[in-house]
Structure 1
Amino acid sequence: MGFIGIDLGGTQLRVAVADDRGRLCTVVREPTQAARGRDHVIDRIVAAVKEALRKEQTSPRRIRALGIGLPGPVDPAAGLVISPANLPGFRNVPLNRILTRATGIPSYLHHDAHLAALGEHRRGAARGASDMIYVTVSTGIGAGLLLRGELYAGAHGIAGEVGHIVVQRDGPLCTCGNRGCLEAIASGTGIARAARELAPGAPGSALYRLDHPHAEDVARGARAGDELANAILENAGSYLGLAMGTLVNLFNPQLIVLGGSVIKTGNLLLGPMRRSMIASSWKASRRGLRIVRPALGDDAGLIGAVEFARLRARHAPQA
């Protein structure tokens, strides 16, 4: 008997078949093609599950449960995808029920950042930590929490939306409609926005010569000593640290795992982040705190989806 884990993003869909111990055996990768709409994406998920089973030479009858992580907001208890920004058409979609019917496998969804936290807790950098937070800083910013060894999703599965902590009153407009959210400032999207707004006034910067600078361009410029690029990362890191300090004060974690493409920028971002976090958190709250990089890399969410399937199978009512 085995399990299936799915990591569904706006760009890529990954499906894994795992053995009874949760070890990945076969992985299928496909473009999500999210712009083609909800029904097309669901068809691609089902087709990828069937392809993974075919490659593993097994059948749905041999799979105990399927776990799927995807961007929030989602309601895990109700099995609903509520309205993720990068999956057009997914509004109040009963994905658990749809996938269970289409595959014949009991299916369970959760927020992707929460499942990445679960993956790192069970198989990666957070093993042995009873209270930990996984923060991902990429196109957006999200977090997953494990408290006393258990996933914490909140009343409606939306806990961990650290990207929507307001850190700058009257700051830049966020996709959620508020102003000054952390995600609007410190995410890859926010860093790119700052570069586009500030570069026209800085003819001495390498960013000035780019029509549409991205976060990667800012990181590259900062490494080369570009003053504007360094200032943008300093600002982003400082606000990220402010939010991290809030998390530390609220949850008193043993461990924070920092993942996502923007974190790969390194100390140009993380240095200001650490200084700001220390300045904005209580010393007693961060006593013994460790901040580490993910051990599972980009597979954290996929492995977490498998672990979630295993968890749900253990608690499923016996026939």
Structure 2
Amino acid sequence: MFLKNIDLIKGLYYSKAASLNDLSIYTGRSVPYVTKGIADLIKSDIVKEVGIRASSGGRKPATYSLIAETGFIISVAMNQFLTRIVIVNMSNEFVGEVQEFELKLNDNKDAIHSLIACIQAVVVNSGLPKDKFLAIGITMPGFIDAFLGNNLSFLKSPEETLVTYINKQAGLPVFIENDSTAIALAEQKFGLPIARNNSMIINLGWGVGLGMIINKEIFKGHSGFAGEFSHLPLHKNGKLCSCGKQGCLETEASLLAIEAKAIEGLRQGEVSSLVKYDTLSADDIITEALKGDAFAIKIISEAAYFIGQGLAILLHLMNPESIILSGKGSVIGKLWLSPIQQAMNEHCIPHLTTYTQLAVSNLGNNAQLLGGVTTVIENLYKLSPQASISEPA
């Protein structure tokens, strides 16, 4: 399956429907190359013609798309506390519901075995033939060595590399990526148009992650660990960060920090609808903030201001076209924007803020799941030694 024409398959996956000329532009290949490649994919029952596009003059071009049921990808989106898994077809559509599993990464020696059991359960319960699954895309926090296939922070493999071990146990190819980098990929391919070229993608979650798109490419740095935005040492608060240092941005601006501040505020007698929750979570705080609870909004606004201070540093260093707020916490939406913009205005040279757009992602809580899918699509060539046909003369 998908033994050749990977460049055309990628172009069709990201566009959903495209003409021969569209694919020629996307791949940088000649129209004859694209025409032959699409014909081969149609014969292999991977691609179908889906319609005729309107034209202002001349022959109306046919459009093509991938056949949804030719293959399926398992996307696994992990954070420190929860794992979400969904099956996605070749039309980038979720097949069935997103499955959620409580799976703590910290101090959990059985985490990798639990993860494999969750993946296997999703595959079996789907009722889909095993040979229809292309690969598993796993996105998670931590220092990810995607080349070697290891997470240097979590999910220690009992033998070999993490990717090799899961591959053996699950019986499917596996690709892993840092959650923030994967979210940046998803935003570039499926998100707002302003995320395409030069953009800083902020992953608002239990940490404050960063994925960087520079000159239309994901930037991961020399060792693949670029984007540790959470650990900018911005505060002299004496608070211990998950990295072992003190005063990181994460200690004041993450969802964990928001949770801690809310619990402490209620203990000190703050008036808030949050008192009705027996065990307060970040999701509860988000829910009440969206309903207008003043205390919940205040805590989120304070965190947003600190994020804006961190972004001011990025603006001076990178001068991005856009900053996109994504990840789990982005569902708060516009509540982030004003305090972040205020901090950026206070701490940035005006010329930098004038030409950088700040926006909330339109992908919501699905950004990381889509990042897992995109991680697989970007690595399709590794599943197929014969990646493409030769260009015709």
TM-score by length of 2: 0.68
Mapping for residues 150-229 of structure 1, pairs under 5 Å: 150-197=217-264, 203=269, 205-206=270-271, 216-217=284-285, 220=288, 223-226=292-295
Q: Corresponding residue for 1:62?
A: 132
Which shows bigger deviation, 119-128 or 107-116? 119-128
1:142 equivalenced with 2:209 (yes/no): yes
1:113 equivalenced with 2:183 (yes/no): no
Q: Corresponding residue for 2:19?
A: none
Contact 1:25 1:56 in 2 (8 A): no
> C-alpha separation between the residues in 1 aligned to 2:261 and 2:324?
26
SS in 1 for 2:350: coil
Q: Select 1:23's aligned residue among 78, 93, 97.
A: 93
> C-alpha separation between the residues in 2 aligned to 1:75 and 1:92?
16
* C-alpha deviation, 1:162, in angstroms: 0.9
Q: Corresponding residue for 2:79?
A: 9
Query: CA, structure 1 residues 14+127, in 2 after alignment: closer, same or farther (shift >3 Å)?
Result: farther
Query: CA, structure 1 residues 175+245, in 2 after alignment: closer, same or farther (shift >3 Å)?
Result: same
* C-alpha deviation, 1:311, in angstroms: 0.7
Unaligned 5+ runs, structure 1: none
Contact 1:38 1:90 in 2 (8 A): no
* C-alpha deviation, 1:302, in angstroms: 1.0
Q: Corresponding residue for 1:48?
A: 119
Query: CA, structure 1 residues 217+25, in 2 after alignment: closer, same or farther (shift >3 Å)?
Result: closer
Contact 1:256 1:292 in 2 (8 A): yes
Contact 1:134 1:259 in 2 (8 A): yes
* C-alpha deviation, 1:274, in angstroms: 0.8
Q: Corresponding residue for 1:83?
A: 153
Contact 1:238 1:276 in 2 (8 A): yes
Query: CA, structure 1 residues 30+275, in 2 after alignment: closer, same or farther (shift >3 Å)?
Result: closer
Which amino acid in structure 2 is aligned with residue 37 of structure 1?
N
Q: Corresponding residue for 2:312?
A: 245
Q: Corresponding residue for 1:37?
A: 108
Unaligned 5+ runs, structure 2: 1-69, 387-393
Identity %: 23
The CA deviation string for residues 9-60 of structure 1, in whole angstroms up to 9 with x for no partner, is 333323333333443334551414337934454344355245336525221x
The CA deviation string for residues 177-214 of structure 1, in whole angstroms up to 9 with x for no partner, is 222211101112223333455666x65x316x969866
Which shows bigger deviation, 161-170 or 212-221? 212-221
Q: Select 2:142's aligned residue among 72, 75, 80.
A: 72
Contact 1:195 1:214 in 2 (8 A): no
SS in 2 for 1:180: coil
Contact 1:118 1:304 in 2 (8 A): yes
* C-alpha deviation, 1:176, in angstroms: 1.7
Which amino acid in structure 2 is aligned with residue 206 of structure 1?
V
Which amino acid in structure 1 is aligned with residue 177 of structure 2?
H
**Residue correspondences, number:** 311
1:298 equivalenced with 2:365 (yes/no): yes
Contact 1:237 1:269 in 2 (8 A): yes
> C-alpha separation between the residues in 1 aligned to 2:331 and 2:98?
25
Higher relative contact order (CA 8 A, sep 6+): 1
